[in-house]
A and B are shown apart, each in its own frame.
Chain A
Protein backbone atom coordinates (compact mmCIF):
# COMPACT_ATOMS: atom_id res chain seq x y z
CA UNK A 1 0.00 0.00 0.00
CA UNK A 2 1.40 3.37 -1.03
CA UNK A 3 -0.24 6.33 0.62
CA UNK A 4 0.76 8.70 -2.18
CA UNK A 5 -1.00 6.60 -4.82
CA UNK A 6 -3.97 6.19 -2.48
CA UNK A 7 -4.25 9.94 -2.00
CA UNK A 8 -3.83 10.61 -5.70
CA UNK A 9 -6.58 8.11 -6.54
CA UNK A 10 -8.95 9.63 -4.01
CA UNK A 11 -8.21 13.05 -5.39
CA UNK A 12 -8.97 12.20 -9.03
CA UNK A 13 -12.21 10.45 -8.06
CA UNK A 14 -13.73 12.81 -5.51
CA UNK A 15 -15.77 14.80 -8.03
CA UNK A 16 -17.31 11.61 -9.32
CA UNK A 17 -18.02 10.41 -5.77
CA UNK A 18 -19.59 13.73 -4.92
CA UNK A 19 -21.82 13.71 -8.02
CA UNK A 20 -23.01 10.14 -7.53
CA UNK A 21 -23.63 10.69 -3.82
CA UNK A 22 -25.67 13.83 -4.34
CA UNK A 23 -27.64 12.22 -7.17
CA UNK A 24 -28.42 9.18 -5.05
CA UNK A 25 -29.39 11.30 -2.06
CA UNK A 26 -31.83 13.26 -4.21
CA UNK A 27 -33.20 10.10 -5.78
CA UNK A 28 -33.88 8.51 -2.41
CA UNK A 29 -35.32 11.52 -0.64
CA UNK A 30 -37.49 12.81 -3.50
CA UNK A 31 -38.73 9.41 -4.53
CA UNK A 32 -39.59 8.51 -0.97
CA UNK A 33 -41.31 11.84 -0.39
CA UNK A 34 -44.24 10.63 -2.49
CA UNK A 35 -44.74 7.65 -0.19
CA UNK A 36 -47.43 9.29 1.98
CA UNK A 37 -49.51 9.97 -1.13
CA UNK A 38 -49.00 6.40 -2.28
CA UNK A 39 -49.80 4.89 1.07
CA UNK A 40 -53.03 6.85 1.38
CA UNK A 41 -54.44 5.31 -1.75
CA UNK A 42 -52.74 2.01 -1.20
CA UNK A 43 -55.89 -0.05 -1.78
CA UNK A 44 -56.57 1.74 -5.03
CA UNK A 45 -53.00 1.24 -6.05
CA UNK A 46 -52.95 -2.43 -5.19
CA UNK A 47 -56.17 -2.87 -7.18
CA UNK A 48 -54.61 -1.18 -10.15
CA UNK A 49 -51.46 -3.23 -9.80
CA UNK A 50 -53.49 -6.39 -9.79
CA UNK A 51 -54.53 -5.57 -13.33
CA UNK A 52 -50.94 -5.24 -14.59
CA UNK A 53 -49.69 -8.23 -16.51
CA UNK A 54 -47.77 -10.46 -14.12
CA UNK A 55 -44.70 -10.43 -16.39
CA UNK A 56 -44.44 -6.69 -16.11
CA UNK A 57 -44.84 -6.75 -12.38
CA UNK A 58 -42.20 -9.41 -12.15
CA UNK A 59 -39.82 -7.36 -14.27
CA UNK A 60 -39.96 -4.52 -11.78
CA UNK A 61 -40.04 -6.81 -8.80
CA UNK A 62 -43.46 -5.48 -7.99
CA UNK A 63 -45.11 -8.86 -7.61
CA UNK A 64 -43.87 -9.42 -4.11
CA UNK A 65 -43.89 -5.83 -2.92
CA UNK A 66 -46.60 -4.25 -0.90
CA UNK A 67 -46.36 -0.63 -1.89
CA UNK A 68 -48.40 0.52 1.03
CA UNK A 69 -45.71 -0.37 3.55
CA UNK A 70 -42.60 1.68 4.20
CA UNK A 71 -40.21 -1.13 3.29
CA UNK A 72 -42.28 -2.33 0.36
CA UNK A 73 -42.14 1.10 -1.14
CA UNK A 74 -38.52 1.57 -0.24
CA UNK A 75 -37.48 -1.68 -1.86
CA UNK A 76 -38.74 -0.32 -5.18
CA UNK A 77 -36.54 2.76 -4.74
CA UNK A 78 -33.73 0.51 -3.66
CA UNK A 79 -33.80 -1.19 -7.05
CA UNK A 80 -32.96 2.11 -8.72
CA UNK A 81 -30.33 2.84 -6.10
CA UNK A 82 -28.78 -0.52 -6.89
CA UNK A 83 -28.81 0.24 -10.60
CA UNK A 84 -26.97 3.52 -10.00
CA UNK A 85 -24.50 1.91 -7.65
CA UNK A 86 -23.79 -0.88 -10.11
CA UNK A 87 -22.90 1.64 -12.81
CA UNK A 88 -20.76 3.68 -10.45
CA UNK A 89 -18.89 0.63 -9.20
CA UNK A 90 -18.55 -0.65 -12.76
CA UNK A 91 -17.07 2.69 -13.80
CA UNK A 92 -14.48 2.46 -11.06
CA UNK A 93 -13.73 -1.17 -11.78
CA UNK A 94 -13.35 -0.89 -15.54
CA UNK A 95 -11.39 2.31 -15.19
CA UNK A 96 -9.15 1.40 -12.26
CA UNK A 97 -6.13 0.54 -14.37
CA UNK A 98 -7.42 0.91 -17.93
CA UNK A 99 -7.81 4.69 -17.75
CA UNK A 100 -4.10 5.08 -17.04
CA UNK A 101 -3.32 2.90 -20.01
CA UNK A 102 -5.74 4.73 -22.31
CA UNK A 103 -4.42 8.12 -21.22
CA UNK A 104 -0.89 6.73 -21.28
CA UNK A 105 -0.04 7.75 -17.75
CA UNK A 106 0.61 4.11 -16.91
CA UNK A 107 4.19 4.56 -18.15
CA UNK A 108 4.74 7.20 -15.53
CA UNK A 109 3.18 5.28 -12.68
CA UNK A 110 4.79 1.94 -13.46
CA UNK A 111 8.27 3.37 -13.77
CA UNK A 112 8.08 4.61 -10.18
CA UNK A 113 9.74 2.35 -7.63
CA UNK A 114 6.55 0.55 -6.67
CA UNK A 115 5.39 -2.99 -7.29
CA UNK A 116 2.34 -3.76 -9.38
CA UNK A 117 0.91 -5.36 -6.26
CA UNK A 118 1.37 -2.12 -4.35
CA UNK A 119 -0.21 -0.08 -7.13
CA UNK A 120 -3.29 -2.28 -7.43
CA UNK A 121 -3.74 -2.52 -3.67
CA UNK A 122 -3.52 1.26 -3.24
CA UNK A 123 -5.94 1.82 -6.09
CA UNK A 124 -8.41 -0.74 -4.75
CA UNK A 125 -8.31 0.73 -1.26
CA UNK A 126 -8.86 4.21 -2.66
CA UNK A 127 -11.87 3.02 -4.64
CA UNK A 128 -13.16 1.15 -1.62
CA UNK A 129 -12.96 4.38 0.34
CA UNK A 130 -14.78 6.23 -2.44
CA UNK A 131 -17.57 3.66 -2.44
CA UNK A 132 -17.90 3.70 1.33
CA UNK A 133 -18.31 7.48 1.20
CA UNK A 134 -21.13 7.00 -1.31
CA UNK A 135 -22.63 4.33 0.93
CA UNK A 136 -22.61 6.59 3.96
CA UNK A 137 -24.52 9.18 1.97
CA UNK A 138 -27.01 6.52 0.83
CA UNK A 139 -27.45 5.33 4.41
CA UNK A 140 -27.93 8.83 5.73
CA UNK A 141 -30.38 9.84 3.03
CA UNK A 142 -32.34 6.62 3.51
CA UNK A 143 -32.80 7.26 7.20
CA UNK A 144 -33.58 10.89 6.54
CA UNK A 145 -36.17 10.06 3.88
CA UNK A 146 -37.91 7.45 6.03
CA UNK A 147 -37.81 9.70 9.07
CA UNK A 148 -39.40 12.56 7.17
CA UNK A 149 -41.95 10.73 5.06
CA UNK A 150 -42.93 7.52 6.85
CA UNK A 151 -46.49 8.81 7.17
CA UNK A 152 -46.63 7.52 10.70
CA UNK A 153 -46.49 3.93 9.52
CA UNK A 154 -44.47 1.39 11.46
CA UNK A 155 -41.64 -0.53 9.81
CA UNK A 156 -39.07 -3.02 10.93
CA UNK A 157 -35.52 -1.88 11.18
CA UNK A 158 -33.71 -5.17 10.61
CA UNK A 159 -34.68 -5.78 6.94
CA UNK A 160 -33.83 -2.15 6.26
CA UNK A 161 -30.39 -2.64 7.79
CA UNK A 162 -29.95 -5.80 5.75
CA UNK A 163 -30.68 -3.82 2.59
CA UNK A 164 -28.21 -1.13 3.51
CA UNK A 165 -25.54 -3.63 4.47
CA UNK A 166 -25.98 -5.40 1.15
CA UNK A 167 -24.82 -2.31 -0.73
CA UNK A 168 -21.12 -2.86 -0.17
CA UNK A 169 -20.82 -6.47 -1.39
CA UNK A 170 -23.14 -5.48 -4.25
CA UNK A 171 -20.74 -2.72 -5.29
CA UNK A 172 -17.67 -4.89 -4.81
CA UNK A 173 -19.10 -7.41 -7.26
CA UNK A 174 -19.32 -4.82 -10.04
CA UNK A 175 -15.98 -3.31 -9.10
CA UNK A 176 -14.12 -6.59 -9.22
CA UNK A 177 -15.85 -7.99 -12.30
CA UNK A 178 -15.23 -4.70 -14.10
CA UNK A 179 -11.59 -4.80 -13.08
CA UNK A 180 -10.98 -8.36 -14.19
CA UNK A 181 -12.72 -7.80 -17.53
CA UNK A 182 -10.65 -4.66 -18.12
CA UNK A 183 -7.53 -6.75 -17.57
CA UNK A 184 -8.71 -9.54 -19.84
CA UNK A 185 -9.20 -7.30 -22.84
CA UNK A 186 -6.30 -5.59 -24.52
CA UNK A 187 -7.47 -2.02 -24.30
CA UNK A 188 -10.54 -0.15 -23.08
CA UNK A 189 -10.96 3.13 -24.86
CA UNK A 190 -13.99 4.35 -22.98
CA UNK A 191 -15.19 3.03 -19.65
CA UNK A 192 -18.85 4.09 -19.68
CA UNK A 193 -20.18 1.70 -22.34
CA UNK A 194 -18.72 -1.20 -20.41
CA UNK A 195 -20.08 -0.17 -17.03
CA UNK A 196 -23.52 0.68 -18.45
CA UNK A 197 -23.52 -2.68 -20.23
CA UNK A 198 -22.59 -4.59 -17.12
CA UNK A 199 -24.99 -2.70 -14.86
CA UNK A 200 -28.03 -2.78 -17.14
CA UNK A 201 -27.14 -6.27 -18.31
CA UNK A 202 -27.18 -7.60 -14.77
CA UNK A 203 -30.42 -5.76 -14.08
CA UNK A 204 -32.13 -7.05 -17.22
CA UNK A 205 -31.06 -10.60 -16.42
CA UNK A 206 -32.61 -10.26 -13.02
CA UNK A 207 -35.79 -8.77 -14.47
CA UNK A 208 -36.09 -11.49 -17.10
CA UNK A 209 -35.49 -14.19 -14.58
CA UNK A 210 -38.66 -12.87 -12.95
CA UNK A 211 -40.56 -12.91 -16.22
CA UNK A 212 -39.71 -16.44 -17.21
CA UNK A 213 -39.60 -17.81 -13.71
CA UNK A 214 -36.19 -19.08 -14.73
CA UNK A 215 -34.14 -19.95 -11.67
CA UNK A 216 -30.72 -20.27 -13.29
CA UNK A 217 -30.19 -16.57 -14.00
CA UNK A 218 -30.32 -15.80 -10.31
CA UNK A 219 -26.93 -17.34 -10.00
CA UNK A 220 -25.08 -14.71 -11.97
CA UNK A 221 -26.70 -11.38 -11.28
CA UNK A 222 -26.17 -9.43 -8.06
CA UNK A 223 -29.64 -7.93 -8.51
CA UNK A 224 -30.84 -11.41 -7.57
CA UNK A 225 -28.12 -12.07 -5.01
CA UNK A 226 -29.40 -9.04 -3.17
CA UNK A 227 -33.03 -8.93 -4.30
CA UNK A 228 -34.57 -6.13 -2.27
CA UNK A 229 -38.13 -7.43 -2.34
CA UNK A 230 -37.02 -10.88 -1.22
CA UNK A 231 -34.85 -9.50 1.57
CA UNK A 232 -37.74 -7.41 2.88
CA UNK A 233 -40.15 -10.31 2.61
CA UNK A 234 -37.91 -12.96 4.18
CA UNK A 235 -36.15 -10.59 6.54
CA UNK A 236 -32.98 -12.42 5.63
CA UNK A 237 -30.36 -12.80 2.93
CA UNK A 238 -30.45 -15.79 0.63
CA UNK A 239 -27.22 -17.18 2.07
CA UNK A 240 -26.09 -19.41 -0.84
CA UNK A 241 -26.60 -16.56 -3.31
CA UNK A 242 -24.71 -14.12 -1.11
CA UNK A 243 -21.86 -16.59 -0.77
CA UNK A 244 -21.84 -17.01 -4.52
CA UNK A 245 -21.64 -13.26 -4.91
CA UNK A 246 -18.73 -13.00 -2.50
CA UNK A 247 -16.97 -15.92 -4.19
CA UNK A 248 -17.21 -14.33 -7.63
CA UNK A 249 -15.87 -11.10 -6.14
CA UNK A 250 -12.92 -12.78 -4.47
CA UNK A 251 -12.04 -14.82 -7.54
CA UNK A 252 -12.21 -11.70 -9.71
CA UNK A 253 -9.93 -9.78 -7.37
CA UNK A 254 -7.44 -12.63 -7.17
CA UNK A 255 -7.47 -13.05 -10.94
CA UNK A 256 -6.99 -9.30 -11.34
CA UNK A 257 -3.84 -9.33 -9.24
CA UNK A 258 -2.56 -12.29 -11.22
CA UNK A 259 -3.31 -10.64 -14.57
CA UNK A 260 -2.04 -7.22 -13.58
CA UNK A 261 1.29 -8.58 -12.41
CA UNK A 262 1.80 -10.19 -15.80
CA UNK A 263 0.33 -7.44 -17.90
CA UNK A 264 2.33 -5.85 -20.70
CA UNK A 265 1.96 -2.10 -20.76
CA UNK A 266 2.15 -1.22 -24.44
CA UNK A 267 3.66 1.92 -25.81
CA UNK A 268 1.90 4.62 -27.74
CA UNK A 269 0.60 3.81 -31.24
Chain B
Protein backbone atom coordinates (compact mmCIF):
# COMPACT_ATOMS: atom_id res chain seq x y z
CA UNK B 1 0.00 0.00 0.00
CA UNK B 2 1.23 3.48 -0.76
CA UNK B 3 1.65 5.47 2.41
CA UNK B 4 2.17 8.75 0.59
CA UNK B 5 0.61 9.46 -2.78
CA UNK B 6 1.30 12.83 -4.31
CA UNK B 7 -0.38 13.86 -7.53
CA UNK B 8 0.53 16.95 -9.51
CA UNK B 9 0.98 18.87 -6.32
CA UNK B 10 1.61 22.54 -7.03
CA UNK B 11 2.23 25.44 -4.71
CA UNK B 12 2.82 29.04 -5.62
CA UNK B 13 3.51 31.71 -3.02
CA UNK B 14 1.85 34.56 -4.81
CA UNK B 15 3.85 34.58 -8.00
CA UNK B 16 6.95 32.88 -6.73
CA UNK B 17 7.31 29.17 -7.27
CA UNK B 18 7.14 26.67 -4.48
CA UNK B 19 6.73 23.37 -6.29
CA UNK B 20 5.18 22.50 -9.66
CA UNK B 21 3.41 19.28 -10.65
CA UNK B 22 5.16 17.12 -8.09
CA UNK B 23 4.06 13.48 -8.25
CA UNK B 24 5.45 10.44 -6.48
CA UNK B 25 4.42 7.62 -4.21
CA UNK B 26 6.08 6.15 -1.17
CA UNK B 27 5.37 2.56 -0.22
CA UNK B 28 4.90 1.23 3.27
CA UNK B 29 8.17 0.46 5.06
CA UNK B 30 10.36 2.45 2.72
CA UNK B 31 12.98 4.99 3.57
CA UNK B 32 12.37 7.43 0.80
CA UNK B 33 15.00 10.04 0.05
CA UNK B 34 14.01 13.46 -1.16
CA UNK B 35 17.02 15.31 -2.42
CA UNK B 36 17.68 18.65 -3.96
CA UNK B 37 19.58 21.83 -3.21
CA UNK B 38 18.27 24.55 -0.92
CA UNK B 39 15.25 26.28 -2.35
CA UNK B 40 14.31 23.39 -4.63
CA UNK B 41 11.01 22.84 -2.81
CA UNK B 42 11.78 20.09 -0.32
CA UNK B 43 10.39 21.89 2.70
CA UNK B 44 7.44 23.17 0.68
CA UNK B 45 6.52 19.59 -0.18
CA UNK B 46 6.76 18.44 3.44
CA UNK B 47 4.79 21.44 4.69
CA UNK B 48 2.08 20.66 2.15
CA UNK B 49 1.94 17.05 3.30
CA UNK B 50 1.62 18.21 6.91
CA UNK B 51 -1.04 20.72 5.83
CA UNK B 52 0.92 23.60 7.29
CA UNK B 53 0.37 25.24 3.91
CA UNK B 54 -2.33 24.64 1.34
CA UNK B 55 -1.78 23.49 -2.24
CA UNK B 56 -2.46 25.79 -5.17
CA UNK B 57 -3.52 22.73 -7.14
CA UNK B 58 -3.07 18.99 -7.15
CA UNK B 59 -3.59 16.63 -4.27
CA UNK B 60 -1.78 14.49 -1.77
CA UNK B 61 -2.91 11.53 0.27
CA UNK B 62 -1.32 9.96 3.32
CA UNK B 63 -2.57 6.61 4.63
CA UNK B 64 -5.08 6.88 1.77
CA UNK B 65 -6.63 10.06 3.18
CA UNK B 66 -6.53 13.49 1.64
CA UNK B 67 -4.19 15.79 3.54
CA UNK B 68 -6.31 18.91 3.18
CA UNK B 69 -9.47 17.35 4.59
CA UNK B 70 -8.18 14.71 7.01
CA UNK B 71 -5.17 16.53 8.47
CA UNK B 72 -5.78 15.95 12.19
CA UNK B 73 -6.57 12.29 11.68
CA UNK B 74 -3.46 11.73 9.56
CA UNK B 75 -1.22 13.57 11.98
CA UNK B 76 -2.04 11.11 14.77
CA UNK B 77 0.43 8.75 13.17
CA UNK B 78 2.99 11.20 11.88
CA UNK B 79 6.24 12.30 13.43
CA UNK B 80 7.95 15.42 12.13
CA UNK B 81 11.46 16.64 12.66
CA UNK B 82 11.91 20.07 11.10
CA UNK B 83 15.26 21.32 9.85
CA UNK B 84 15.24 24.04 12.48
CA UNK B 85 13.51 23.38 15.74
CA UNK B 86 11.72 26.04 17.74
CA UNK B 87 9.91 25.39 20.98
CA UNK B 88 8.30 27.42 23.72
CA UNK B 89 11.40 29.01 25.20
CA UNK B 90 10.15 29.26 28.77
CA UNK B 91 9.29 25.59 29.07
CA UNK B 92 11.46 22.87 30.47
CA UNK B 93 12.33 19.98 28.19
CA UNK B 94 10.21 17.51 30.12
CA UNK B 95 7.18 19.83 30.05
CA UNK B 96 7.49 20.32 26.32
CA UNK B 97 7.70 16.57 25.76
CA UNK B 98 4.74 15.95 28.03
CA UNK B 99 2.78 18.67 26.26
CA UNK B 100 3.60 17.05 22.93
CA UNK B 101 2.61 13.62 24.26
CA UNK B 102 -0.68 14.98 25.58
CA UNK B 103 -1.94 15.35 22.03
CA UNK B 104 -1.85 11.62 21.41
CA UNK B 105 -4.33 9.09 22.73
CA UNK B 106 -1.66 6.66 23.90
CA UNK B 107 0.82 6.41 26.73
CA UNK B 108 4.16 7.79 25.57
CA UNK B 109 5.97 7.86 28.92
CA UNK B 110 8.04 4.73 28.36
CA UNK B 111 9.13 5.67 24.85
CA UNK B 112 9.87 9.23 25.92
CA UNK B 113 12.25 7.93 28.57
CA UNK B 114 13.96 5.47 26.24
CA UNK B 115 14.55 8.10 23.60
CA UNK B 116 15.75 10.76 26.04
CA UNK B 117 18.24 8.30 27.51
CA UNK B 118 19.44 7.32 24.06
CA UNK B 119 19.84 10.93 22.97
CA UNK B 120 21.38 11.88 26.32
CA UNK B 121 18.85 14.62 26.79
CA UNK B 122 18.69 16.53 30.07
CA UNK B 123 15.01 16.70 30.82
CA UNK B 124 15.03 19.38 33.49
CA UNK B 125 16.72 22.14 31.55
CA UNK B 126 14.90 25.06 30.08
CA UNK B 127 14.52 25.10 26.31
CA UNK B 128 15.97 28.62 26.21
CA UNK B 129 19.19 27.36 27.83
CA UNK B 130 19.76 24.63 25.28
CA UNK B 131 22.36 24.74 22.53
CA UNK B 132 21.27 24.27 18.94
CA UNK B 133 22.32 20.63 18.91
CA UNK B 134 20.45 19.94 22.13
CA UNK B 135 17.30 21.57 20.80
CA UNK B 136 17.64 19.29 17.83
CA UNK B 137 17.71 16.32 20.20
CA UNK B 138 14.50 17.56 21.79
CA UNK B 139 13.11 17.62 18.27
CA UNK B 140 14.11 14.02 17.66
CA UNK B 141 12.56 12.77 20.89
CA UNK B 142 9.46 14.87 20.29
CA UNK B 143 9.10 13.53 16.77
CA UNK B 144 9.34 9.89 17.83
CA UNK B 145 7.81 9.65 21.27
CA UNK B 146 4.31 8.82 20.09
CA UNK B 147 5.57 5.92 17.96
CA UNK B 148 4.41 7.31 14.63
CA UNK B 149 3.89 5.13 11.57
CA UNK B 150 5.31 7.72 9.22
CA UNK B 151 8.28 9.97 9.88
CA UNK B 152 9.06 13.21 8.10
CA UNK B 153 12.68 14.22 8.45
CA UNK B 154 13.52 17.60 6.96
CA UNK B 155 17.30 17.91 6.81
CA UNK B 156 17.48 16.25 10.19
CA UNK B 157 21.20 16.07 10.78
CA UNK B 158 22.14 19.74 10.72
CA UNK B 159 23.47 20.74 14.12
CA UNK B 160 24.14 17.19 15.30
CA UNK B 161 27.72 16.15 15.95
CA UNK B 162 28.97 13.09 14.01
CA UNK B 163 28.50 10.78 16.99
CA UNK B 164 24.91 11.88 17.45
CA UNK B 165 24.32 11.66 13.73
CA UNK B 166 25.31 8.02 13.82
CA UNK B 167 23.06 7.35 16.79
CA UNK B 168 20.30 9.13 14.98
CA UNK B 169 20.73 7.05 11.82
CA UNK B 170 20.77 3.87 13.86
CA UNK B 171 17.59 5.03 15.53
CA UNK B 172 15.92 5.70 12.18
CA UNK B 173 16.99 2.29 10.85
CA UNK B 174 15.66 0.70 14.03
CA UNK B 175 12.33 2.49 13.62
CA UNK B 176 12.26 1.42 10.00
CA UNK B 177 12.82 -2.20 10.95
CA UNK B 178 9.79 -1.95 13.18
CA UNK B 179 7.77 -0.98 10.14
CA UNK B 180 7.96 2.80 10.25
CA UNK B 181 7.92 4.48 6.86
CA UNK B 182 10.41 7.33 6.56
CA UNK B 183 10.39 10.35 4.31
CA UNK B 184 13.89 11.74 4.39
CA UNK B 185 14.61 15.13 2.87
CA UNK B 186 18.19 16.25 2.55
CA UNK B 187 20.74 17.99 0.42
CA UNK B 188 23.55 15.87 1.81
CA UNK B 189 23.70 12.95 -0.57
CA UNK B 190 25.98 10.78 1.48
CA UNK B 191 23.39 10.34 4.18
CA UNK B 192 20.61 9.68 1.70
CA UNK B 193 22.81 7.08 0.07
CA UNK B 194 23.47 5.41 3.43
CA UNK B 195 19.88 5.28 4.49
CA UNK B 196 17.42 5.30 1.62
CA UNK B 197 16.12 2.66 -0.70
CA UNK B 198 14.52 4.99 -3.22
CA UNK B 199 15.02 8.64 -3.98
CA UNK B 200 13.25 11.46 -5.68
CA UNK B 201 15.38 14.26 -7.01
CA UNK B 202 13.79 17.68 -6.99
CA UNK B 203 15.13 20.65 -8.84
CA UNK B 204 13.66 24.11 -9.14
CA UNK B 205 10.33 22.87 -7.84
CA UNK B 206 10.01 19.91 -10.18
CA UNK B 207 10.78 16.25 -9.76
CA UNK B 208 13.47 15.30 -12.23
CA UNK B 209 13.82 11.65 -11.31
CA UNK B 210 12.31 9.07 -9.01
CA UNK B 211 14.25 5.86 -8.86
CA UNK B 212 15.84 3.11 -6.91
CA UNK B 213 19.17 4.18 -5.49
CA UNK B 214 20.82 1.14 -7.08
CA UNK B 215 19.47 1.76 -10.57
CA UNK B 216 20.32 5.38 -10.26
CA UNK B 217 23.90 4.42 -9.66
CA UNK B 218 23.99 1.57 -12.20
CA UNK B 219 22.37 3.24 -15.14
CA UNK B 220 24.85 5.93 -14.83
CA UNK B 221 28.42 6.74 -15.46
CA UNK B 222 31.24 4.60 -14.18
CA UNK B 223 34.11 6.40 -12.63
CA UNK B 224 37.34 5.05 -14.05
CA UNK B 225 40.86 5.80 -12.97
CA UNK B 226 43.90 4.35 -14.76
CA UNK B 227 47.53 4.77 -13.80
CA UNK B 228 49.91 3.75 -16.54
CA UNK B 229 52.95 5.02 -18.38
CA UNK B 230 52.69 6.68 -21.74
CA UNK B 231 48.92 6.66 -21.71
CA UNK B 232 48.59 10.12 -23.20
CA UNK B 233 45.18 11.24 -24.33
CA UNK B 234 44.37 8.08 -26.18
CA UNK B 235 41.30 7.47 -24.01
CA UNK B 236 39.60 10.52 -25.37
CA UNK B 237 38.96 8.53 -28.48
CA UNK B 238 36.78 5.99 -26.65
CA UNK B 239 33.15 6.76 -27.36
CA UNK B 240 31.30 7.39 -24.09
CA UNK B 241 34.24 8.78 -22.14
CA UNK B 242 33.92 12.25 -20.66
CA UNK B 243 35.39 14.60 -18.06
CA UNK B 244 38.88 13.37 -18.83
CA UNK B 245 41.55 14.59 -16.45
CA UNK B 246 45.23 13.68 -16.44
CA UNK B 247 47.25 14.00 -13.27
CA UNK B 248 50.75 12.61 -12.59
CA UNK B 249 50.32 9.79 -15.04
CA UNK B 250 46.83 8.95 -13.77
CA UNK B 251 43.89 9.39 -16.08
CA UNK B 252 40.45 9.93 -14.51
CA UNK B 253 37.28 9.93 -16.53
CA UNK B 254 33.60 9.10 -16.50
CA UNK B 255 32.40 6.43 -18.81
CA UNK B 256 29.00 5.42 -20.05
CA UNK B 257 28.58 2.53 -22.47
CA UNK B 258 29.97 -0.94 -22.93
CA UNK B 259 32.75 -1.40 -20.38
CA UNK B 260 34.52 -3.86 -22.70
CA UNK B 261 35.67 -1.10 -25.01
CA UNK B 262 37.66 0.34 -22.15
CA UNK B 263 39.06 -3.01 -21.15
CA UNK B 264 40.15 -3.73 -24.73
CA UNK B 265 41.87 -0.42 -24.92
CA UNK B 266 43.73 -1.18 -21.67
CA UNK B 267 44.79 -4.58 -22.92
CA UNK B 268 47.94 -3.45 -24.68
CA UNK B 269 49.08 -1.06 -21.97
CA UNK B 270 51.38 -1.68 -19.01
CA UNK B 271 49.02 -0.67 -16.23
CA UNK B 272 50.09 0.13 -12.67
CA UNK B 273 46.66 0.58 -11.21
CA UNK B 274 43.03 0.55 -12.30
CA UNK B 275 39.86 1.37 -10.42
CA UNK B 276 36.35 1.22 -11.81
CA UNK B 277 33.81 2.65 -9.38
CA UNK B 278 30.16 3.38 -9.06
CA UNK B 279 29.83 7.12 -9.02
CA UNK B 280 28.68 8.56 -5.72
CA UNK B 281 25.20 9.96 -5.59
CA UNK B 282 26.85 13.32 -5.36
CA UNK B 283 28.36 12.90 -8.79
CA UNK B 284 25.11 11.63 -10.27
CA UNK B 285 23.39 14.51 -8.69
CA UNK B 286 25.72 17.04 -10.24
CA UNK B 287 24.88 15.44 -13.55
CA UNK B 288 21.20 16.28 -13.00
CA UNK B 289 22.08 19.81 -12.15
CA UNK B 290 24.32 20.55 -15.10
Contact = CB atoms under 8 A, between A and B. Distances in A.
- Give the interface SS of chain A, mostly helix, strand, loop or mixed: loop
Interface string A88-120: 000000000000000111111011111100100
Interface string B37-78: 000000100010011111000000000000000011111101
Contacts of B84: 104, 268
A4 interface: yes
B90 A262 contact: no
A266 B75 contact: no
Contact of B43 (A12, A106, A264, A267): A267
Contact of B76 (A104, A113, A268): A113
A265 interface: yes
- Give the interface SS of chain B, mostly helix, strand, loop or mixed: loop
B80 interface: yes
Interface stretch (B96-104, B196-204, B248-256): B96-104
Contacts of B74: 113
A264 B52 CA distance: 6
Interface string B230-246: 00000000000000000
B103 A265 contact: no
Given A8-B99, A265-B52, A113 B87 contact: no
Interface residues of B, number: 30
B53 A108 contact: no
Contacts of B90: 12
A111 B78 contact: yes
A contact residues, range: 20 to 34
27 contacts: A2-B103, A4-B102, A12-B88, A103-B89, A104-B84, A104-B86, A105-B87, A107-B86, A108-B142, A110-B50, A110-B51, A111-B50, A111-B52, A112-B75, A112-B100, A113-B72, A113-B73, A113-B74, A113-B76, A115-B71, A118-B72, A262-B54, A264-B53, A264-B54, A265-B47, A265-B53, A266-B53
Interface of B: 13, 43, 47, 50-54, 71-76, 78, 80, 82-84, 86-90, 99-100, 102-104, 142
